């Protein structure tokens, strides 16, 4: 009887641990983030080309975690986390009267992406997590 109970507890612990495993994802940037909107704060991922910098206002990083619903894929929640982090960067840039965020990077723990086409995210059965960082600047306008 005790052996069965112990085996049941071990099995429960193993199943719980297996469900909490976070996978590091490298996903394509959504097309909406790769195009610039003149009405919004521009985002330049990695070393994407941009107009000359008139003023640098510092760097900012936001860490984001989005809980996962049972029907959501890991990719979906990673995209939500990225959208939330980018929105926080843009909101902060607006508060600083900046018109762009350059050198935008994403990371999960120590796994960073400086790519203009992909982003890093940590995804588990419980949710997705990432950090978004960028340099807040005012770019010269034509």
pLDDT at residue 36 above 80?
Answer: no
- Among candidate residues 129, 121, 130, 133, the one with its CA nearest the CA of residue 24: 121
Confidence of residue 4 (pLDDT cuts 50, 70, 90): low
Non-local (6+) Cβ contacts of 69 within 8 A are none
pLDDT at residue 59 above 90?
Answer: yes
Spell out the domains of the chain, with CATH numbers in brackets: 22-139 (3.30.110.70)
Tokens 């989005």 locate to: 66
Question: Between 102 and 125, where is the model more confident?
Answer: 102
Q: What is the pTM for the complete model shown?
A: 0.82
């Amino acid at each position: 009887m005790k052996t069965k109970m112990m085996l049941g507890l071990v099995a429960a612990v193993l199943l719980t641990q297996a469900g909490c495993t976070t996978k590091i994802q490298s996903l394509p940037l959504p097309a909406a983030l790769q195009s610039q909107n003149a009405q919004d704060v521009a985002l330049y991922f990695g070393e994407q080309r941009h107009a000359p910098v008139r003023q640098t206002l510092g760097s900012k990083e936001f860490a984001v975690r989005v809980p996962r619903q049972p029907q959501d894929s890991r990719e979906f929640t990673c995209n939500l986390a990225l959208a939330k982090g980018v929105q926080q960067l843009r909101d902060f840039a607006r508060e600083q009267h900046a018109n762009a965020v350059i050198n935008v990077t994403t990371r999960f723990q120590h796994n960073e992406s400086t790519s203009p086409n992909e982003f890093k995210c940590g995804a588990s059965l419980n949710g997705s997590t990432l950090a978004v960082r960028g340099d807040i600047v005012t770019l010269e306008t034509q």
